[in-house]
């Protein structure tokens, strides 16, 4: 049965039809009819008013990453829409499903430089998987249906739907039809049996096989398939930044993390394996270092859903195109059960070297100043197995990633591909609002937190019990580290005079504590977890500490440095 209603009502009814329960946004002139409609549906769909549109979109990203659902946000035209762009680019590069709805000036004003008009279609095009402008009420529901389908299917991504104000106030038919397919868009690739056979033959003959897994495993819900594959194959496995959590770190085959600040053995031994299996990862330059010296000795098997990622950075000897949930299961059947003890022992021996050279320094420092690693170590002691770690970008991100004990899938939210400072605080809020009962720990630096610190206001208003751990070194630490290592210690504009963060948090009604002595750290972390509600823990850390291991830009993975 078809019914006529205002376009604005169609927007909300369509979101409800797509099972959106929680949306993030910020009102303004060109989206006001939608906000007016939202007023009538508050019992069916919750809306969180952030303090900035960037906060809204990062919150939607945090929500999407933890829930596995499509994150939704609303913004007005012009500046409202342009404030979403960083989040769109971030979600798109990290394959996070998002649908953003922006208001737009009335259709007859398009292109005239009307008040708060911006060409958001043009601006958002390179940062979205798909965008679409709706100018008639009748087109709203089909566009939203298509948008949700595109955002969550295939390799997920960011969608923007721009709706002119006239379309929001005019009447249109509403008869919601979910989108399941359309001819120009392919979401499923049947796994080619020949590729499975070729991959299995390579693996069965391999002496030093090595598996790298990325976020594709999480997005494809293939965690169990990955585990079964590793159990049977006996292959050592390392994680990318965004893949962390897809496999419990306690799994016997788990050997560590890849990339510029990953672990020693996983990077170094990339150039010693004979068969490299990459699952749901895209050989980002932060993982590969110098491509011309990356795993040249190895036959490469690439399990990947996105055809444009195959052979993009690393040539695959066997490409297995398709959903890794299916391909991993098929490959597990096709391979022989094996153990690779001698090869695994190489990883463990190098791990020992890393422990002595780096981990000791980070977790059992002899200096007076606290290290970032110590803070993460104490978080591990008190956190639940399914606690979510949300990080910003910089030294604290790499240290938290290195030392956080990942046991469950969907426990990590960070800005990987884009490296967006200011991401963590709103993303943690979004992750927490998906599930109030789950521990969400937001580890953030003193630089990044100040890029979106206004979202403390949203935490106050929603009472989201986010545990914020500020690792404060009064520096833009990662940039400072590079200045120390590659720019002759010329610390150009990286030192910060910071506000009194404790007073600031307290001004937002958030319980806060500052720790600078080692003796107080454990108790403070424990208090933070015990406290019922949001908590702000500032840990004053060593000003000039560095993150190691490190593969410097332009170096090969085997040139990974321990100091």
Partner 1 sequence: MKRYTIFVITENFIGILNRITIIFTRRGINIDALTASESRIPGVHRITIEVTVTEETVIQLVNQIEKIIDVIKAFHHEDTGVVYQELALYKIPVSRLDGGLEKIIRDHHAKIIAAEPDFVVLELTGHKEKTRELLEILKGYGILEFARSGRVAVAKRMLTIDSFVN
Residue 549, preceding peptide bond in cis (omega within 30° of 0): yes
C-alpha neighbours within 13 Å on the C-beta side of residue 271: 17
What angle do the packed helices 7-17 and 140-152 form, to 10 degrees?
30
Candidates 53, 304, 309, 455; catalytic one: 53
Q: Which stretch binds partner 1 (CB under 8 A): 53-61, 124-132, 252-260, 380-388?
A: 124-132
Ranges within 377-416 binding partner 1 (CB under 8 A): none
User: Is residue 131 within the footprint of partner 1 (CB under 8 A)?
Assistant: yes
Beta strands per DSSP E along 208-317: 209-213, 237-239, 254-257, 275-279, 299-304
115 carries an active-site annotation: yes
How far apart are the C-alpha atoms of 397 and 479, rounded to whole Å? 13
How far apart are the C-alpha atoms of 328 and 517, rounded to whole Å? 48
CB of 258 to partner 1, least distance (A): 23
170 carries an active-site annotation: no
- Of 135 and 232, the one with the shorter C-beta distance to partner 1 is 135
478 carries an active-site annotation: yes
CB of 185 to partner 1, least distance (A): 5
User: Is residue 121 within the footprint of partner 1 (CB under 8 A)?
Assistant: yes
| Of the residues 297, 311, 360, 553, which one makes contact with partner 1 according to CB under 8 A | 311
Helices (H), 153-298: 165-169, 193-204, 216-219, 223-233, 264-268, 285-288
CB of 161 to partner 1, least distance (A): 13
CB of 186 to partner 1, least distance (A): 9
- Of 162 and 374, the one with the shorter C-beta distance to partner 1 is 162
CA 76 to chain centre: 25
What is the number of other CB atoms lying within 10 angstroms of the CB of residue 220? 23
CB of 150 to partner 1, least distance (A): 6
CB of 228 to partner 1, least distance (A): 30
CB of 455 to partner 1, least distance (A): 31
| Of the residues 1, 42, 43, 122, which one makes contact with partner 1 according to CB under 8 A | 122
Give, for 326, the enclosing helix (H) or strand (E).
helix 324-334
Measured CA to CA in angstroms, residue 183 lies from 14, 179, 186, 191, 553 at distances of 22, 12, 8, 20, 42
Output the CA torsion sign for 83, 89, 94, 99.
Answer: positive
Candidates 115, 297, 364, 523; catalytic one: 115
User: Is residue 183 within the footprint of partner 1 (CB under 8 A)?
Assistant: yes
Q: Which of 100, 131, 139, 132 is nearest to 15 (CA)?
A: 100
Q: Which stretch binds partner 1 (CB under 8 A): 86-94, 168-176, 302-310, 372-380?
A: 302-310
Q: Contact 433/462 with Cβ under 8 angstroms?
A: yes
Q: Contact 302/278 with Cβ under 8 angstroms?
A: yes
| Of the residues 221, 312, 518, 531, which one makes contact with partner 1 according to CB under 8 A | 312
Q: Which stretch binds partner 1 (CB under 8 A): 231-239, 309-317, 326-334, 371-379?
A: 309-317
- Of 133 and 263, the one with the shorter C-beta distance to partner 1 is 133
Q: Which of 67, 555, 522 is nearest to 285 (CA)?
A: 555
Q: Which stretch binds partner 1 (CB under 8 A): 108-116, 181-189, 469-477, 543-551?
A: 181-189
What angle do the packed helices 324-334 and 193-204 form, to 10 degrees?
50
User: Is residue 535 within the footprint of partner 1 (CB under 8 A)?
Assistant: no
Candidates 5, 21, 32, 116; catalytic one: 116
- Of 146 and 346, the one with the shorter C-beta distance to partner 1 is 146
Output the CA torsion sign for 10, 108, 89, 31.
Answer: negative
| Of the residues 92, 133, 414, 472, which one makes contact with partner 1 according to CB under 8 A | 133
User: Is residue 130 within the footprint of partner 1 (CB under 8 A)?
Assistant: yes
487 carries an active-site annotation: no
Candidates 69, 129, 146, 165; catalytic one: 165
How far apart are the C-alpha atoms of 202 and 528, rounded to whole Å? 50
Q: Which stretch binds partner 1 (CB under 8 A): 205-213, 305-313, 446-454, 495-503?
A: 305-313
What is the three-state SS of 444-492? EECCHHHHCHHHHHHHHHHCCCCEEEEEECCECHHHHHHHHHHCCCCCC
CB of 367 to partner 1, least distance (A): 45
User: Is residue 125 within the footprint of partner 1 (CB under 8 A)?
Assistant: yes
Q: Which stretch binds partner 1 (CB under 8 A): 108-116, 118-126, 197-205, 385-393?
A: 118-126
CA 266 to chain centre: 21
Stretch 195-224: interaction string toward partner 1, x if CB under 8 A:
------------------------------
Whole-number CA gyration radius for the chain = 24
| Of the residues 48, 56, 99, 150, which one makes contact with partner 1 according to CB under 8 A | 150
CB of 519 to partner 1, least distance (A): 53
Write out the two tokens for 559.
């040139």
User: Is residue 308 within the footprint of partner 1 (CB under 8 A)?
Assistant: yes
The answer for residues whose C-beta is within 8 angstroms of residue 214's C-beta and 6 or more apart is 239, 240, 242, 243, 246, 278, 279, 280, 281, 282
User: Is residue 185 within the footprint of partner 1 (CB under 8 A)?
Assistant: yes
User: Is residue 123 within the footprint of partner 1 (CB under 8 A)?
Assistant: no
User: Is residue 520 within the footprint of partner 1 (CB under 8 A)?
Assistant: no
Candidates 260, 478, 528, 550; catalytic one: 478
CA 84 to chain centre: 16
213 carries an active-site annotation: no
| Of the residues 52, 65, 69, 129, which one makes contact with partner 1 according to CB under 8 A | 129
CB of 222 to partner 1, least distance (A): 21
* 164, β-bridge pairs: 104
- DSSP conformation class of 33: H
Catalytic residues: 53, 115-116, 165, 478
Q: Contact residues for partner 1 (CB under 8 A)? A: 121-122, 125-126, 129-131, 133, 150, 183-185, 306-308, 310-312
């Amino acid at each position: 049965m078809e019914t006529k209603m205002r376009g604005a009502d169609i927007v909300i009814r369509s979101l409800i039809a797509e099972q959106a329960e929680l949306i993030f946004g910020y009102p303004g002139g060109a989206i006001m009819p939608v906000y007016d409609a939202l007023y009538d549906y508050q019992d069916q769909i919750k809306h969180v008013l952030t303090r900035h549109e960037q906060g809204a979109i990062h919150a939607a990203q945090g929500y999407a990453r933890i829930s596995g659902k499509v994150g939704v946000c609303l913004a007005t035209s012009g500046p409202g829409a342009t404030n979403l762009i960083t989040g769109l680019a971030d979600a798109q590069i990290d394959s996070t499903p998002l649908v953003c709805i922006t208001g737009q000036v009335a259709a007859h004003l398009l292109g005239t430089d009307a008040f708060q008009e911006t060409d958001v279609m043009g601006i958002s095009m390179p940062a979205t998987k798909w965008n679409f402008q709706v100018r008639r009420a009748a087109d709203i529901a089909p566009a939203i249906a298509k948008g949700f389908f595109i955002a969550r299917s295939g390799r997920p991504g960011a969608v923007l739907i721009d709706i002119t104000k006239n379309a929001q106030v005019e009447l249109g038919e509403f008869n919601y039809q979910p989108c399941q397919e359309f001819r120009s868009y392919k979401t499923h690739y049947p796994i080619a049996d020949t590729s499975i056979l070729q991959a299995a033959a390579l693996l069965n003959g391999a002496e030093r096989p090595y598996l790298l897994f990325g976020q594709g495993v999480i997005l494809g819900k293939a965690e169990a398939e990955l585990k079964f594959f590793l159990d049977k194959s006996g292959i050592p496995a390392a994680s990318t930044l965004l893949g962390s959590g897809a496999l419990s770190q306690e799994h016997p085959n788990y050997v560590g993390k890849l990339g510029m600040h990953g672990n020693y053995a996983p990077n170094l031994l990339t150039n010693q394996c004979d068969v490299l299996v990459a699952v749901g990862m895209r050989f980002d330059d932060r993982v590969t270092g110098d491509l011309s010296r990356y795993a040249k000795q190895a036959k490469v098997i690439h399990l990947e859903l996105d055809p444009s990622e195959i052979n993009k950075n690393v040539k695959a000897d066997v490409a297995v195109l398709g959903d890794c949930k299916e391909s991993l299961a098929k490959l597990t059947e096709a391979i022989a059960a094996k153990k690779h003890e001698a090869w695994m022992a190489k990883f463990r021996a190098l791990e020992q070297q890393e422990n002595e050279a780096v981990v000791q320094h980070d977790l059992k420092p002899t200096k007076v100043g606290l290290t970032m690693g110590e803070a993460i170590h104490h978080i591990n002691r008190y956190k639940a197995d399914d606690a979510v770690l949300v990080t910003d970008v910089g030294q604290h991100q790499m240290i938290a990633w290195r030392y956080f004990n990942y046991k469950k899938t969907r426990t990590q939210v960070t800005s990987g591909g884009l490296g967006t400072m200011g991401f963590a605080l709103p993303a943690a809020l979004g992750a927490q609002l998906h599930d109030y009962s789950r521990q969400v720990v937001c580890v953030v630096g003193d630089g990044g937190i100040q890029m979106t610190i206004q979202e403390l206001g949203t935490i106050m208003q929603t009472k989201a019990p986010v545990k914020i751990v500020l690792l404060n070194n009064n520096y833009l630490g990662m940039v400072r580290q590079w200045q120390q290592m590659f720019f002759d210690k010329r610390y150009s504009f990286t030192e910060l005079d910071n506000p009194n963060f404790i007073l600031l948090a307290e001004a937002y009604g958030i319980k806060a504590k500052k720790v600078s002595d080692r003796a107080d750290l454990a108790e403070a972390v424990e208090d933070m977890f015990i406290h019922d509600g949001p908590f702000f823990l500032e840990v004053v850390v060593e000003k000039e500490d560095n993150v190691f291991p490190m593969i410097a830009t332009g170096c090969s993975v085997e040139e990974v440095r321990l100091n």
